[in-house]
Structure 1
Amino acid sequence: MTANRNLKRRVRARAAKTGESYTTALRHFRSTLTGDVMPESRSLRFAVAQTTVREDPTSSAELRESGAELRRMMREAHQAGARIVHFTEGATCFPSKFVMSSQGPDQVGPSDWSRFEWDVLRRELAATTDLGRELGIWTVLGSVHQLSGQDRPHNSMYVISDQGDVVARYDERTLSTTKITYMYTPGAAPVTFDVDGLRFGCALGMDSHFPELFMEYERLDVDVVLISTTGSVPFSTMVANEALAHAATNSYWASLAVPAQHSPVAPSGVVPPDGEWVAQCDQDGSASLAVVDLGHSTPDNVTNLARTWRRRTRTALLERAPALDATS
């Protein structure tokens, strides 16, 4: 009972100091067998991949090629000791707006999703989840998610556990004009999941242009944000710069997964909270991996102190802001 009271006292003290909720503060502690409360030590080997993104979901062959490449990279990540591997947007397929257009192939119009080889995609996803269970590795990958009836699908990220279960799905929230006009249904909420004591958040496609989404993940106490994107080369370069900024200004790790085709300009990579690349994939247009160890050792390290300072400063700014004069 004494150890339990001491734990509660220390958690409440941390919550009062940092402005965190009790539940959030509790995450930073663990009980040892002796009953002492020690800082939680967290570390995880992580892999980010860049793979060839294919754009024709009416082609069974392309869907199978993407699935085979995904599974090959999963095996390589497992061999490197990774617990989780992160893939790009549209890793299973990133449907071309021209291929899917009901008015195509030369004009963009409403997408005809009946032409998508959904059965092939489901078989490839099943093979991928089976391999994740066999290897004991977590997998996060981009895929189109079919909805019922006439509803347009989501552009999504699947979170597949090391038991081979899809435990979460993030749907892109900030759709481009073409995506929201002709192709997809937007998502509505952030998604987080925990692996080995680290909390991950998901961002997809155009999300990288909206810092408020990344500030939201900071408030949700994530340790790592996984950013998956596909687009033109200039767009990938912009997102790479934004990934550095999001990591530095929110004091967490960021992983950026892009297509192998874009790697000569903006390869996939991992950014620590200091906002500098710590690892990047090959820049030769090939499928490859970058592997790093994520984590931090104490609840009072520089990363958490920076978060605490920013939260306290933002609160002070709001408190000092002059009230608007309704008569002016």
Structure 2
Amino acid sequence: MIQNGNLKRRVRARAAKTGESYTAALHHIRQPSAKLAIHSIRLAVAQTSLFKDPRDKFALRASGTELRALMMDAHRAGARVIHFPEGATCSPNKRLMSESGPKEIGPSDWGRYDWATLRSELAATSELAKKLKLWTVLGSVHQLTPPHRPHNSLYVISDCGTLVTRYDERMLSNTKISFMYSPEKLPVTFEVYGVRFGCALGMESHYPELFTEYERLEADCVLFSTTGEIPSAAPAFAAEVLGHAATNMYWVSYAAHAPQSVAIPAGIASPDGRWAAQCAADGSTSISVTDVTIDREHPARPWRRSARA
């Protein structure tokens, strides 16, 4: 009955807009081409080890090796996109970076970062993305020209191995804005095979206005990457992710580091506010995969927009 009611509303709306008869409008909507409104893509979310010292060349290399192993796992699982946590390459510890640390937190000394090794690992990761034909979204520090502080970023690498866009964290924590990073102001979206993705970072799940903004930008799925060092912080982030998915009627991928998984593992929330996939809950690195399916004709989002207006 609901499906018939939705169909009748669509037919009447088209007839009123085009001047067609009810029968002609019905014939048009029932054409096979109308089914192209449904898109699907296989998405993998990853939880990774937490590497905190950007001075350590061997740790940076180990991080890159781990990322690429998980990319291979995602490829074998048939994924077309893989989503990694914030600081997947390295999440610099505020005390290790502090000019006056480690006992005192102060302005970060970014000269301590082994940028050359980071660039080498990112290049190798991009090459693998090209080889696997796998879109790869990963968290990394993005260096700016001194004396400007870097951005805390998400790199979006296409299945051709090229950097197509970059999202820079906007809503920084007090420590990040005071001592570590430069903020940005703009949302970022990109499309893969007809599915539109948005990006969020760090503690931005605390800000629902960012997620409603992505709904207005027609996002089908928001990729939210955070660190996940402290398991006790996981339940709040996870609850917010499920809430954003349900209230905005889109998918949300939640990527965090493995130590947090003992409380809440990384996962992918469906538009009904439930986990469609979750990684291992034992502190280990892993991926989880699901098919993100988008129905352009679903009436819930237009109804909610009308109510909000």
Q: Is the TM value for this pair above 0.5?
A: yes
Q: Residue 109 of structure 1 aligns to which amino acid in structure 2?
A: G
Q: Deviations over 1:108-156 (max 9, x none)?
A: 0000000100000000000000000011000000000000121000000
**Whole-angstrom distance in 2 between the partners of 1:175 and 1:201:** 18
Question: 1:219 maps to what in 2?
Answer: 216
2:307 maps to 1:310: no
2:181 counterpart (179, 184, 202): 184
Question: 1:235 maps to what in 2?
Answer: 233
1:285 counterpart (272, 283, 286): 283
- Unaligned runs of 5+ residues in structure 2 are 1-9, 18-30
**Whole-angstrom distance in 2 between the partners of 1:274 and 1:189:** 27
1:45: how far off? 0.8
**Whole-angstrom distance in 1 between the partners of 2:182 and 2:233:** 22
Question: 1:265 maps to what in 2?
Answer: 263
Question: 2:66 maps to what in 1?
Answer: 69
The answer (yes or no) to whether the contact 1:230–1:236 under 8 Å persists in 2 is no
Question: 1:163 maps to what in 2?
Answer: 160
Question: 1:253 maps to what in 2?
Answer: 251
Q: Residue 248 of structure 1 aligns to which amino acid in structure 2?
A: A
Percent of residue pairs bearing the same amino acid type: 56
Q: Residue 233 of structure 1 aligns to which amino acid in structure 2?
A: P
2:139 counterpart (142, 150, 155): 142
**Whole-angstrom distance in 2 between the partners of 1:170 and 1:235:** 23
Q: Residue 143 of structure 2 aligns to which amino acid in structure 1?
A: Q
**Whole-angstrom distance in 2 between the partners of 1:187 and 1:299:** 31
The answer (yes or no) to whether the contact 2:37–2:297 under 8 Å persists in 1 is no
1:306: how far off? 1.2
Q: Residue 94 of structure 1 aligns to which amino acid in structure 2?
A: S
Q: Deviations over 1:162-192 (max 9, x none)?
A: 0000101000001000000000000110000
**Whole-angstrom distance in 2 between the partners of 1:91 and 1:205:** 12
1:208 counterpart (205, 208, 228): 205
**Whole-angstrom distance in 1 between the partners of 2:246 and 2:123:** 37
2:38 maps to 1:41: yes
Q: Deviations over 1:93-114 (max 9, x none)?
A: 0000000000011110000000
Q: Residue 263 of structure 1 aligns to which amino acid in structure 2?
A: S
Q: Residue 256 of structure 2 aligns to which amino acid in structure 1?
A: V
Count of residues in Structure 1 that have an aligned counterpart in Structure 2: 285
1:292: how far off? 0.3
User: Secondary structure of the equivalent of 2:262?
Assistant: coil
User: Secondary structure of the equivalent of 1:49?
Assistant: strand
Q: Residue 311 of structure 1 aligns to which amino acid in structure 2?
A: R
**Whole-angstrom distance in 1 between the partners of 2:149 and 2:39:** 40
**Whole-angstrom distance in 2 between the partners of 1:64 and 1:237:** 31
1:37: how far off? 5.5
1:237: how far off? 1.9
- CA-based RMSD: 2.0
**Whole-angstrom distance in 1 between the partners of 2:235 and 2:307:** 31
**Whole-angstrom distance in 2 between the partners of 1:199 and 1:82:** 16
User: Secondary structure of the equivalent of 1:263?
Assistant: helix
TM-score (norm 2): 0.89
The answer (yes or no) to whether the contact 1:144–1:155 under 8 Å persists in 2 is yes
Q: Residue 48 of structure 2 aligns to which amino acid in structure 1?
A: T
The answer (yes or no) to whether the contact 1:48–1:269 under 8 Å persists in 2 is yes
**CA distance 1:214–1:150, change in 2 (3 Å):** same
TM-score (norm 1): 0.84
- Unaligned runs of 5+ residues in structure 1 are 1-9, 18-31, 316-328
User: Secondary structure of the equivalent of 1:123?
Assistant: helix
1:41: how far off? 2.8
1:234: how far off? 2.4
The answer (yes or no) to whether the contact 1:175–1:206 under 8 Å persists in 2 is yes
**Whole-angstrom distance in 2 between the partners of 1:288 and 1:216:** 31
Show structure 1 runs of 4+ deviating over 6 A.
none
